[in-house]
Amino acid sequence: MAIYDSILDTIGHTPVVRLNNLAPRGVEIFVKVEARNPGGSVKDRMARAIIEAAEARGELRPGQTVVEASSGNTGIALAMVCAQKGYPLVVVMAENFSVERRRLMRMLGARVVLTPAAEKGSGMVAKAMELAEAHGWYLCRQFENEANARVHRETTAREIVVDFAGRRLDYWISGAGTGGTFAGVAQVLRAERPDTRIVVCEPDNAPVLASGVPQPAPVAGGWATSHPLFRPHPMQGISPDFIAPITGAGVAAGFADLIEPVNGGRALTAARALAAREGILAGISGGATVAAALSLAERAAPGSVMLCMLPDTGERYLSTPLFADIPADMDAAELEISRSTPGFRFDAPAVVVPAPAAAAQPAVVANVEAAVPDPEMASWVDAAIHDPGEPVVMFALEWCEFCWTAPRLFERLGIRFRSIDLDSVAYQAGERGARIRAVLKARTGSPTIPQVFVAGRLIGGATDLIEACRNGSLARELGQAGIAMPGCADFDPAALLPAWLHPRRTAA
């Protein structure tokens, strides 16, 4: 337990954890859980190191914009570092990396510029260079920056050496993206744990390192040419379409004792098994190191001890093939559990529990059923729905996703509207919200919210509004009020309902 001065001080010192259920008998497999870094990945280490090295060298001025190409984790890590230190950040990212990464970076205050998937990793690096040059921004150059491998020598490797002091460590297994983790950790292990075999895993269909084919020289004006043996693979973050200089230097220095091919499907299966059987959420590149360990375990001497890097968390892959087969709806087994007791089911009517007989009701009007419409509020509602300045009025609840269907539709159609949020602070004094609700219930015959009016005429609730949009009656009502409305023909307004209303909740 400790109190830290900054989120950046919580980077590193990640736990090493034994796999109790996945490791075959006679082989011990440990994983180093880099998801425990504050930004959720191993790249936090490098992001802080690069920015602080640039500050120390005077290459990065206060307030100067930082730019970098990233498949996501570096961008998120840099966004965290730049948010804390106050630098604007632009991340360049190929469009095919998972969307949750972009949104995380933007949440952390960064700007994200996408590049076409067809231009691959080398394209996004070239774009970042172009932007840095044109605008005078500080380019991190993670693929070449000396701070990258250095921080892994100084932190990741030291942690491993300390954690395994006096213990056996036969294999250390990593992928290589920039190669910072591989080259940095390998250099220290070579010197201090010469018995540890260093394993670099790479996709079996893209044996860029295993082939021994050198990285082609960049074409004029470009940063890197795609390696001829590169093929697309699912292991985001490792094995880009070129041999990164740090990786190349590490291999040339003889740090890689073994280059282990890993099948994409096996990497995904291993990541899923880590989650379901060990309770460890890791990304696909972590699945790849564990898949490599499992295949090595079949050949390794009994009693072997392995350590796999898990560079990030599985939560970063919700929109990727890792989660493709994880359903959102109940499957047959879950439905059977649901049906095993009578209540709260989708396939049976709700069980009505009678109200306790003489229990005293609290004396608040918030109970809409009990509220009697009062004349003062009735005339207020009349004035609101007949206000010529605001012909489109909706009565809503502030945080009700169902209510949000109406503003989403109006925004989509470019129609101005007034939202009267009955449960907001503004309508709580004197129970005004509840009194207005009682008026609405008497007037519309429906106790539900939202209720939408156009020039004093009731359209109805969210689903009525969608139907009115589809059948043209909304356009008619708006037209009579002198408001033009582009048609609903080019999209299905029902798509604007909350997401939880869309899925089938019952399996066929």
Site residues (CB under 6 A) for ligand PMP?
A: 41-43, 71, 73, 175-182, 236-238, 283, 285, 311-312
Which of 118, 117, 143, 116 is closest to 129 using CA atoms? 143
**H, E, C per residue of 168-195:** CCCEEEECCCCCHHHHHHHHHHHHHCCC
- What are the angstrom distances between the C-alpha of 99 and each of 19, 76, 109, 362? 30, 12, 16, 48
In whole angstroms, the minimum distance from the beta carbon of 130 to ligand PMP comes to 21
Residue 419 DSSP SS3: strand
46 near 77, Cβ under 8 Å? yes
Does residue 43 have an active-site annotation? yes
Contacts of 212 (CB under 8 A, 6+ apart): none
Residue 388 sits at the vertex; the CA angle it makes with 385 and 390, to the nearest 5 degrees, is 65
Cβ closest to ligand PMP, residue 256 vs residue 385:
256
Distance, CA of 107 to CA of 360 (rounded, Å): 48
By the 10 Å C-beta count (0-12 exposed, 13-18 middle, 19+ buried), 380 is classed as middle
**Residue type at position 290:** V
Cβ neighbours around 272 below 10 Å, total: 18
Element at 20 (helix H, strand E): none
Bridge partners, 419 (sequence order): 394
Considering the complex, state which of residue 278 and residue 312 has its C-beta at the smaller distance from ligand PMP: 312
C-beta closer to ligand PMP: residue 316 or 437: 316
In the complex, what is the shortest distance from the CB of residue 236 to ligand PMP, in angstroms, rounded to a whole number? 6
Whether the upstream peptide bond of residue 234 has omega within 30° of 0, thus cis, is: no
Q: How far is the CB of 95 from ligand PMP (least distance, A)?
A: 17
d(CA 346, CA 6): 48
285 is catalytic: yes
Helix (H, G, I), strand (E, B) or coil at 239: coil
CB of 70 to ligand PMP, least distance (A): 8
> Minimum CB separation from ligand PMP for residue 135, in Å?
24
Q: How far is the CB of 285 from ligand PMP (least distance, A)?
A: 3
**Of 41, 71, 239, 285, catalytic:** 285
Residue number of the CB closest to ligand PMP reads 237
> Which residues are the active-site residues?
43, 285
